Structures are given as C-alpha cells and as structure tokens.
C-alpha cells in the first residue's frame, strides 16, 4: 500500500502510540436533535467494542433487525468511544434490562428520524503519546501550529484497510474483475470502499508533492464549501479562491472512483484521471483533500514523558493521520 507522506514535517519522532481504551478516547459531536418523534436517541459509551458489535448485541437483545438501529459513524474497537444511535421508540422500555461491562447506555431524547451515516458534526479525540522526549515536544508544538494554519492531509487511515491489507485489496479486485461473489453485502461494501480509498490516498500523495509549503490549487479543482455544505468548480484559481482556502472556508477535493460522481477538469483532471477506475460500479464520492482540525490542545507530563492531545476533526477524518503527521511516519 502507498506510503502516506507529510511534506510540512521535516523530522521523524519515535514516540509510542498505543490505540487502547486508556490512550485513545473518541467522543462523537452530535447533530441537533428534534426532541420529538418516533425514535429514541441513545448515548453509548463503550470500551473495546466497535460499532458493529454494539449493533449486533443490541439488535439481538431487543429482538429487532440490525438495520432498525441508526448510527452516524463507525467507531474503533481499541478505544473508549462515545457515540449516538437511534432505535424505534416502541423498543426503548426493554433497554433497562440490558447489562454489559463494556457498554454503558444513556437515553437522552427523542428524534424525528433514524440516524444515518454522516449525521454528526465531527469527533473529539483525546490521545496519549508515550515516551515523548522533552526535545520532541517542541517539534510537536511546531507541527501543531502548522496544522492549525494550513490544515492536514485528509488521508484514509490504516484502519480503513483492515489488518490484512493486501488480502483485502485482492478480494476487492476479485469482486470487481473476477467471478468472486460475497453473501455478506456489508463486508463486500467495506472491501470496495477500501479499494476506492487506495486511489484517493495515492492521488493525495502526488498532489502534496507538487508544493512542499502548502497544498497547490489547480485550475479545474472541485472545491467543498465547508459552511454551505456544497461542491463547486470555479472558472479559475483566482485571489478569492486562494483567500477562502487560506481562511479555511473551502477545501479542494479528490476522487473516490465509481459511478455518478463529478470529475475534475483542466489541469486538475490531468492528475486525477491517473487515479480513476471506470470499472468500479460502487457509488463514487468526492472527499476533502485538506481538513482543518479545531481546538487543538497539547499538554506534556515531563515526569511520565506523556504528551496528551485533545482536538476535534470533521466527520470521516482520521485522528491517526494527525498523529502520523506529528511523527512523520506511517504506523501501519
């Protein structure tokens, strides 16, 4: 798999990053709920339990189909995570009998519809980095300032591709180009998403190498308007586009190949078309190339050599990518 690069960082750090329930904490930043309707919103705090396991256990306990449970995003297993899900209101009384050592359920309010993927504002992360030398903390603080100013590459993190990366990508190719079939549509979709993601990451590496100091915008780029949640393609890269990008109001996007997706034009297309695959029948998407983490706080415990990070990322972005940026190396 292609190596993720971080051109703004010129130094490699060898701190230890552990993804576990003490050192990796995720808190979903929810949308505003309607406080009325036929769905109950549940706040779930869990340890060593991913979203699929949570849904499987709850659906079996309530005696309902798993697709009746709504969720806004998938959360890692090796972490302490807080996320929000919805269930039909008529099943909520049964929850008082649900018991689990690693799943804590809190009923918060009603909502007028089932939660779907993407129905969240973002995610807050609290991460401990171990064996951080005193001299390293200056470099970490320097890179945090650069990230605050310029944003960070919105790579898909290593979790996207699973433990057996090569095997998973080969399975995806067999589904695409061979005669392989898969009964579990959920697994098939995950494999295809991983395959699409390799094209985006490879494209992003090439675009980052065009200019070391900042992400170089090209004529024909498709941009995402962050405030208004819409895509657009300007006629050219003019002063207003440069200013809006600098002020973190817009960001360029890259392609996840597939059907029914807008393609770049002009100079941007010349690069993008090298990372396209018309054989992919899954829905295509565009993804922000650069994202802007918010509220980054860095605290250092000199006695324990632990650096604690606290920050918020937009939905769909990977905290492990920010940690890789600080270390200037890939973790997997």
Token pair in block for residue 294: 């918010």
The answer to whether the CB of 71 falls within 8 A of the CB of 46 is no
- What is the helix (H) or strand (E) element at residue 265, kind and residue range? none
Is 76 a catalytic site residue? yes
Pairing relationship of beta strands 103-111 and 120-130 according to DSSP bridges: unpaired
Q: What angle do CA 48, 51, 54 make, to 5 degrees?
A: 80
Tell me which of 10, 23, 50, 76 is the catalytic residue.
76
Task: Work out the number of other CB atoms within 10 angstroms of the CB of residue 247.
Answer: 8
**Separation in Å, CA 204 to CA 31, 78, 90, 299:** 29, 27, 46, 31
CB distance 119 to 31 below 8 Å: yes
Q: Which residues of 142-178 are buried (b: 16+ CB within 10 A; e: fewer)?
A: ebbebbbebbbbbbbbbbbbeeeeeebbebbeebbee
Task: Supply 191's token pair.
Answer: 């494999």
Q: Does residue 128 contact residue 23 with C-beta atoms inside 8 Å?
A: yes
Which tokens in the block code for residue 102? 């690693």
State both tokens at 315: 């939905």
**Minimal CA–CA distance to 56: which of 31, 77, 37?**
77
Q: Which residues are catalytic?
A: 76
């Amino acid at each position: 798999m292609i190596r993720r690069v971080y051109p703004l960082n010129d130094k490699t750090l060898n701190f230890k990053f552990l993804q576990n329930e003490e050192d990796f904490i995720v808190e979903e930043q929810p949308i505003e709920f309607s406080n009325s309707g036929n769905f109950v919103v549940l706040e779930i705090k869990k340890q060593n339990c991913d979203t699929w396991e949570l849904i499987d256990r709850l659906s079996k306990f309530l005696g309902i189909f798993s697709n009746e449970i709504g969720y806004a995003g998938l959360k890692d297993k090796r972490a302490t995570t807080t996320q929000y899900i919805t269930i039909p209101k008529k099943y909520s009384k049964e929850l008082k009998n649900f018991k689990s050592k690693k799943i804590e359920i809190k009923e918060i309010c009603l909502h007028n519809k089932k939660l779907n993927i993407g129905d969240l504002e973002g995610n807050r992360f609290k991460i401990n980095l171990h064996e951080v030398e005193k001299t390293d903390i200056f470099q970490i603080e320097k890179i945090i300032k650069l990230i605050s100013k310029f944003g960070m590459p919105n790579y898909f993190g290593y979790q996207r591709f699973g433990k057996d990366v090569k095997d998973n990508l080969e399975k995806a190719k067999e589904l695409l180009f061979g005669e392989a079939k898969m009964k579990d549509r959920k697994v098939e979709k995950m494999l295809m998403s991983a395959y699409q993601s390799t094209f985006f990451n490879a494209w992003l590496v090439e675009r980052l190498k065009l200019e070391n100091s900042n992400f170089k915008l090209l004529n024909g780029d498709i941009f995402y308007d962050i405030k208004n949640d819409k895509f657009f393609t300007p006629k050219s890269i003019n002063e207003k586009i440069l200013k809006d990008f600098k002020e973190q109001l817009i960001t360029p996007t890259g392609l996840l190949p597939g059907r029914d997706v807008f393609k770049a034009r002009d100079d941007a297309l010349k690069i993008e078309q090298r990372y396209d695959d018309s054989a992919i029948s899954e829905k295509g998407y565009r993804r922000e190339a650069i994202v802007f983490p918010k509220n980054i706080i860095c605290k250092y415990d000199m006695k324990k050599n632990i650096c604690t990070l606290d920050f918020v990322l937009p939905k769909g972005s990977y905290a492990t990518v920010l940690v890789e940026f600080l270390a200037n190396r890939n973790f997997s």
